[in-house]
Each structure stands twice: as C-alpha cells, then as structure tokens.
Amino acid sequence: MSDVKNWNRLDEILYRADDGLTVYVYRVDKRGRRQGSYLLRTHPYPGLLDTLRDQYGGGDFSILIRDGNTMVLSGTFGVEGIRNRPQKWSW
C-alpha cells in the first residue's frame, strides 16, 4: 500500500479541492493491479475517501490525480470498508 508521504500528499490535494485537477479512481485486485475502467472521475474534494468507503464499500483503490497531461499523484490506497450486511444478533 501507499506510504505516509503519499497519504499526506493525497490529504493535501483533497483538502485544497483544486478544480483544475482531475481524480481517477480504479478498483485494485488482490495482486495490486488496476481493474478495468475507472470507477469514479471527479475533481478533488475533502470527502473523497468517505465516498469510497460509503458508496464503493472501501477496499484498495488506485488513485491518479492529473493536472492536464501532468501526473500530480499516483498510488494505491486502502480505504476501510463498511459492513453492508446487517448483523444477526442472538440473545
């Protein structure tokens, strides 16, 4: 997974929410390879990781951030998922 430097850089970019940048998010398989076409194409915004957790169930994602033809950040980031199934309680 991504190191602390990449996490800090991602956090900085998302917090700034620069509309001149484009974020591409891909699902990553167990071998660390990007899967198919992107899941999400958007501008950076502070709640992106929450979106990946809540709407895509978390997991490993390849996140590419571009400024036109220039790559600003590229890395694989693990996002903790949410439990989608209700838990069964026994008394």
Q: Domain-by-domain residue ranges, the chain?
A: 4-79
| pLDDT per position as a tens digit, 65-81 | 999 999 999 999 988 87
pTM of the predicted model as reported, rounded to 2 decimal places? 0.82
Pairing of strands 70-79, 22-28: unpaired
| pLDDT per position as a tens digit, 3-31 | 888 889 999 999 998 999 999 999 998 88
| pLDDT per position as a tens digit, 28-69 | 988 888 888 889 999 999 999 999 988 888 889 999 999 999
What pLDDT is stored for residue 84 in this prediction?
Answer: 55
What distances in angstroms separate CA 41 from CA 7, 10, 25, 64, 90, one per listed residue?
A: 19, 15, 7, 10, 42
Please name the residues in contact with 77: beta carbons below 8 A apart, sequence gap of 6 or more: 1, 2, 6, 7, 10, 49, 60, 61, 62, 63
Please name the residues in contact with 56: beta carbons below 8 A apart, sequence gap of 6 or more: 27, 39, 40
